[in-house]
Structure 1
C-alpha cells in the first residue's frame, strides 16, 4: 500500500496557467495602460463624438460673438488708458453661464442618490479643495487670455498660446501618468502646426501699434497657456483619482458621463465666477458695461444677446472639453480645442472685415492639418478599442 501512495505536493504546474497574452503588453493600447486606472471605461464613440461637436460649436460661436462685441463697441477708438477695459467681463462670460447646467445636474444627482450610493466625507472634502483650485486656475486663465489678446497682435498671441500643446502632454505625463504612442505624438505635432498656422487670423480687439505691450502681453499669453494645460490635467486627475474610484465602493457599475462632467463644471465654474465677478467690481467695469450698452452700434438688444450668447456658448464648450477629458484624456481635449481655431479664423473672414483679413494659404493649410490631427488621434482610439476587444475575447 505504501508503494501505491502518490505524493501530495509533486503535481507539476501546468504551463498555460502562467502564460501572459503578448498583446496586453503593447505600448498604450488601452485606456487602462494609458492612465493606470482600471476604473476607466473603454472609449465610447457616441460620447467622444458628442463632446467633439460641443467643443467645435461652443468655441466657434463664442469666438464669433466675441469678435462681434469688440467690433461693435468701436474699440479701435479707445486710448491707451482704456486698453484693458472689459477683460474681467470677458473672463466672467466664460463661466457665468453655469446656472444653465444646474437643473440637469440636480436631476441627475438626485437620481444617483436614489441608488443609495454611500457618501464619504473625506472624499468630498478633498474634492471641494480640488474644485476650488480648478476654479481659481480657470478664472486666472480666462483673465490672462483676455488681457493678452488686447496687448499684442493676435498672430503673436496665437503663436505663444499654442504652447499649451507642449505643456499639456508634459503635465499629463507627470500628473496623470499617461503614456504616449506615435499616433498621439503625430496628432499633437499636427495640432501645433494648426495653431501656429492661424497666426494670420484677425481679431476684433487687436491693439493698435501705440497700444502694443509685447512684454506684458507675451507673458500673459504664455501663462494662460500653462494655466489651461494645468486645468485640463487637474480635471483628468479628478476623474481618475476620485470620480472613477467611486465605483470601487458603490453599487454603480460605472460613473455617469453627464453627472460627472456637470459636477466638475458646476462647482469649478461657481468658484471661477465668484473670483471674476469680484475682479469686475473691484476694477469698476460695471460702469463700462452700462456705457458699452448705450453706445453699442447695433443697439442695446444686440448687446445683451451678444453677451448672453457668449455665456451660453462657453458652457457648451466646457461641457465638450470636460467630456473629452472624461471619455479619453486631457491631451485629446486640448487637441480638439486647438484644431477648432482654423474654423473660427475662416468664419471671421466670412462675417467680418478686420484689417483686410482674407482666406490665405495659411488658413487653408491650417484646416488640412486640423483634420489630419483629429484623424490621427481618432485612428489611435479606433486601434485601442479594437485591441481591447481582442484582449477581452
Structure 2
C-alpha cells in the first residue's frame, strides 16, 4: 500500500513510498523525509525510541566511568608534567569497542543475503571506503580534542564552548545535507543550546588545578571538538542519503539498520588505528601500566572501568548514528546534548566532587531538555497525524 508522506523541513509533498513491514528499518508507517532527498525513506518510531535509549544509557555510563577513572587516578592533584596524560587513551576508548558490533551487523546483513546485487555496488564501495576513512579521521580528532579540552580548562567553560556544536550542526546540515528547517526544529535547537549551557555547573573528575589551566589551548580544543562532532554527524547523514539509501531505491532491498553498524565498524576501525598509533607515539602505553598499579580500587576495577567505557561508547555511537539513520543529524545532536543534564545529576548521586549538589541550574536544564525533545517530537507527531488524515 502506498501513502503520502509530508517532509518535516519542507512543504512540498513527497513521492509515494512502498510500505515496508515493521522491523528495525526505515518504515513507511512513520513520518517524514527531513532532507528532501527522495532516496531517504520515512522514519520508524521504534527505531527512533531505541536509538534514544542507546544514547542516554551509553553516554551516561561512559561519562560516569570516565569520572570514576579520573577520580581513582587522582587526576585533580596538581602535576603539570602529567596534566594531559591519557588524551589518546580516552580517544581510543571511544572507538576501540567496535568489534562488538560485528555480530549484530552479520545477523542483520544475512537477512538480506538473497537480495539481487546492484550494478553500482562496486562504485559505491570504493567511494564509501574513502568516506569511511575521512569519518574515522574526524572521529579520532574529535575524541582527542574533547579529552584535551577537559583537562586544560574548567569543565564549566569547556561545556559552554562545546555546546557550540548545536550551532554548527544546523549550518553543516544545511550546506552538506540540504536540510530545511521549520519553527519547531528551531525551537528545539534553541532549548537544547540553553540545556547545554545550563549544565556548566557539572563537576568533572579530571578538571585541572587552577595552576594547570590553559585557556588558549583548552578553548580552541573544545571549539574544534564541537565542530568535528557536527561535521561527523552531517557526513554520516550524507553517507546514508547519497550512498547507502540510493543503492537500494531502485531494488527490492530495504534500507536496513545494518547500515548503522556498517558505518560505525569501518569508520571506528580507522579511528582506532589512528588513536592507537597516537597512544604509542605519545608513550601513553607506559602510563597505562603505572595507572593500573596505582589505581585506588585495584587492578580489577581499573580494567572494568576501561572496558566499561569502551562498551558504553559503542552503545552511545549506535544510538547517535541510529538517530541519523532514522531522522537526521540535527535530531541526533539534540538528543546527545539534552542527555547532559541526566549525566550531571548522576554525577551528583555517585560522586562528591567539590561538594557538587543538585542546584537550580541542573533542575532548569532537565526542564529545558524535556521541552527541547517535546518540541522536536511534537513536530514528528504532527506530521504523522497529518499524513494519516
Compute the displacement of 1:384 (Å).
Answer: 1.9
TM-score by length of 1: 0.90
* Distance (whole Å) between structure 2 residues aligned to residue 325 and residue 25 of structure 1: 16
Closer/same/farther in 2, CA of residues 27 and 212 from structure 1, 3 Å limit:
closer
Indicate if the aligned counterparts of 2:32 and 2:383 stay in contact, CA closer than 8 A. no
* Distance (whole Å) between structure 2 residues aligned to residue 52 and residue 341 of structure 1: 13
- 2:91 is matched with which residue? 91
Residue of structure 2 aligned with 1:28, choices 1, 4, 10: 10
* Aligned-partner SS, 2:96: coil
Indicate if the aligned counterparts of 1:117 and 1:250 stay in contact, CA closer than 8 A. no
Indicate if the aligned counterparts of 2:95 and 2:272 stay in contact, CA closer than 8 A. yes
- 2:20 is matched with which residue? none
Indicate if the aligned counterparts of 1:117 and 1:251 stay in contact, CA closer than 8 A. no
* Distance (whole Å) between structure 2 residues aligned to residue 248 and residue 155 of structure 1: 46
> Where in structure 2 are the equivalents of 1:42-191 lying within 5 Å?
42-118=42-118, 120-191=121-192
Q: Quick check: 29-38 or 292-301, which moved more?
A: 29-38
- 1:358 is matched with which residue? 357
* Distance (whole Å) between structure 2 residues aligned to residue 26 and residue 163 of structure 1: 24
Closer/same/farther in 2, CA of residues 43 and 32 from structure 1, 3 Å limit:
closer
* Distance (whole Å) between structure 2 residues aligned to residue 33 and residue 43 of structure 1: 8
* Distance (whole Å) between structure 1 residues aligned to residue 212 and residue 299 of structure 2: 28
> Where in structure 2 are the equivalents of 1:159-238 lying within 5 Å?
159-238=160-239
* Distance (whole Å) between structure 2 residues aligned to residue 28 and residue 58 of structure 1: 33
> Where in structure 2 are the equivalents of 1:240-251 lying within 5 Å?
240-251=241-252
Q: Quick check: 67-76 or 27-36, which moved more?
A: 27-36
Gaps in structure 2 of 5+ consecutive residues: 15-30
Gaps in structure 1 of 5+ consecutive residues: 1-20
Indicate if the aligned counterparts of 1:43 and 1:381 stay in contact, CA closer than 8 A. no
Compute the displacement of 1:78 (Å).
Answer: 4.5
* Aligned-partner SS, 1:37: coil
Indicate if the aligned counterparts of 2:8 and 2:32 stay in contact, CA closer than 8 A. no
- 1:11 is matched with which residue? none
- 2:27 is matched with which residue? none
* Aligned-partner SS, 1:36: coil
Larger Rg: 1
TM-score by length of 2: 0.91
* Aligned-partner SS, 1:373: helix
Provide the alpha-carbon RMSD of the alignment. Answer: 1.7
Does the alignment pair 1:309 with 2:291?
no
Q: Quick check: 316-325 or 242-251, which moved more?
A: 242-251
Question: Number of aligned pairs?
Answer: 367
* Distance (whole Å) between structure 2 residues aligned to residue 26 and residue 103 of structure 1: 34
